A = this chain, B = another copy of it.
Amino acid sequence: MSNPVLVEALRGALTESRHRGAVAVVDADGAAVLALGDVGQPVYPRSAVKPLQALPLVESGAADRYGFGDEELALACASHGGEPAHVEVAQRMLARAGLDAAALECGAHWPSHQPSSQALARAGGAPSALHNNCSGKHAGFVCVACASGVDHRGYVAADHVVQREVRAVIENLTGVGLGADVCGIDGCSIPTWAVPLDRLAHAFARFGAGARMGQKRAKAAARIRAACAAQPYYVAGTGRFCSEIMKRFGARVLVKTGAEGVFCGALPEQGIGIALKCDDGATRAAEVAMAAMIARFLPMADDERAALDRFVRPTLRNWNGIEVGGLRPSAALTVVPGDRRETRDP
């Protein structure tokens, strides 16, 4: 059994490429709202769970101790573009704990934000671990260790107290026990534990609603959500999907991308969580699928719907700026059973 086609890439009169995948939408009680494809299959969430991975930063008291505000907490949830402002906040987080880039164990890479990358090259610079898209999350991990009086060195290892805490949070919110059999190593060297999509969606429903968890965790979740809503630029960067969506919808939507076509999100007012994965790992398709889910489940004004449309149906342009095609969500994502507006032949 293969998963359904979620997104099509059109060119000329033909469908050029197709992205299959699975989508789970679940409420805070764990009830399925929508299930497309195999939502029980364990999926490495990668960076899509960064908002959950940031909970220990608040719960441990580290965020308060180091005086972190919205920018720092948003960056702790980020896969950022390595823009100067991102780098500066990561550096500041480490400085508050008396450390610098040398404490980061995520590795270095050039900024994904092209103008920042070119500016760095133009200045004769080279990327450091601060430019790594995960540097905010890692700075947060380092601060958790320092605030807890634990040696931060080796904080990326699965058996370090920081990663054990992170795992416990994810186990608690997903309701899934996570063992070595479902553990992979992420791009930034920390463990990533595979979790069924429907359980990830449930975790995000709970995280978004602050429901079915202790008061302390609910308060920490609310603070992280508020930080992302207030400073969405720090969650991704200029022109990026997560930042643009949260800039537009504020606290009504939390979205977070992950590598290999994963996307997680929450619609707090609707009390639902969303988790999806494109089988092939394509980010372009995961973004369209997430945009389609927001269009489907979030009540919104006409101007908001118009603004969202460029993410639901993005245009593809070539190097001369000519429109050559576009991405489109498939009927599996957009056709609501029994909804006559969406059916072609009522």
Contacts of A301 in B (CB 8 A): none
A16-B281, A107-B320, A110-B118 known; 10 new pairs, CB 8 Å cut-off, are A9-B260, A17-B278, A17-B279, A20-B20, A105-B320, A110-B114, A132-B319, A185-B324, A278-B280, A280-B285
Q: Is A36 an interface residue (CB 8 A)?
A: no
What are 26 A-B interface contacts by the 8 Å CB criterion?
Answer: A2-B2, A9-B281, A11-B192, A14-B42, A14-B184, A17-B260, A17-B278, A17-B280, A19-B280, A20-B280, A105-B320, A106-B319, A107-B318, A107-B320, A117-B121, A119-B121, A122-B122, A184-B324, A184-B325, A185-B318, A185-B322, A186-B324, A187-B324, A188-B318, A278-B280, A282-B282
Contacts of A114 in B (CB 8 A): 110
Most buried by B among A42, A188, A322: A322
Q: Is A293 an interface residue (CB 8 A)?
A: no
Given contacts A2-B20, A118-B121, A260-B9, contact A322 B14 (CB under 8 A): no
Most buried by B among A16, A189, A324: A16
Contact A16 B322, beta carbon cutoff 8 Å: no
Contact A14 B44, beta carbon cutoff 8 Å: yes
Q: Is A346 an interface residue (CB 8 A)?
A: no
Contact B44 A16, beta carbon cutoff 8 Å: yes
CB distance from A38 to the nearest CB of B (A): 11
Contact B261 A182, beta carbon cutoff 8 Å: no
Interface residues on A, range: 35 or more
Contacts of A44 in B (CB 8 A): 11-12, 14, 16
User: In the complex, A110→B318 CA distance in Å?
Assistant: 14
Contacts of A183 in B (CB 8 A): 12
User: In the complex, A282→B261 CA distance in Å?
Assistant: 12
Q: Is A98 an interface residue (CB 8 A)?
A: no
Contact A280 B18, beta carbon cutoff 8 Å: yes
Contacts of A17 in B (CB 8 A): 260-261, 278-281
Contacts of A18 in B (CB 8 A): 279-280
Q: Is A149 an interface residue (CB 8 A)?
A: no
CB distance from A190 to the nearest CB of B (A): 10
Contact with B along A174-216 (1 / 0, CB 8 A): 0000000111111111001010000000000000000000000
Contacts of A318 in B (CB 8 A): 107, 185-189
Residue of B nearest to A124 (CB): B122
CB distance from A84 to the nearest CB of B (A): 15
